[in-house]
Amino acid sequence: MKRLIAITLASLASLAALALGPVHAQQQKTVLGIDAAKKIVAACEARAKQEGWNMIIAVVDDGGHLKHFSRMDNSFRKSIDIALLKAETSSGFPRSSRQMADIAKQRAPGIEHVPGIVIFGGGMPILTGKNEHIGAIGVSGGTPEQDEQCAQAGLDAVRGELGLK
């Protein structure tokens, strides 16, 4: 019994030493918060209303997980899927969904056939001034150019707050 207690105490001491060993500095990362995501969507909606566009807007974090979403009145139901795919594409690659078309043509023919990747405008990464990839926005409901203009309006609304590129 004494031997079992001694082994148990030695094991616990070893675990404690490992847990309390050298402490490494943790790297801090900018996170896309819900308030910033809401501001992005609100600015995008304002631009869409000004132009008479009926948009679907999806903002995701750097893992592609939905952070905030809006479906404007009279928007197309299938644009929900498209906006989410655009956001997920730009979250998975720190590039706009339009840039993915160039990549598909020049470096990765066939990438457009990979499930979850779209190669037309409306998805944009959210990159800080330090080039941290913290999320993405996907917009659908207009032409690819209109979708991009709407997404850019959203990003511009938080440029100073998040130190965006």
- Residue 109, by phi and psi: left (phi above 0), alpha (psi -120 to 50) or beta? beta
Contact 147, 55 (CB under 8 A): yes
pLDDT of the residue at 162: 79
How far apart are alpha carbons 127 and 115 in whole angstroms? 24
d(CA 80, CA 70): 9
Q: Which residues of the chain have pLDDT under 50?
A: 12, 15-19
Q: Which residues contact 66 (CB under 8 A, 6 or more apart)?
A: 58, 59, 60, 84
In the chain, beta strands by DSSP E: 56-61, 66-71, 123-127, 133-140
Whole-angstrom Cα distance, residue 73 to residue 114?
A: 31
pLDDT in tens, 102-148: 898 898 888 889 999 999 999 999 999 888 999 999 999 999 999 99
The H-or-E segment that residue 2 falls in is helix 2-19
pTM metric for this prediction = 0.81
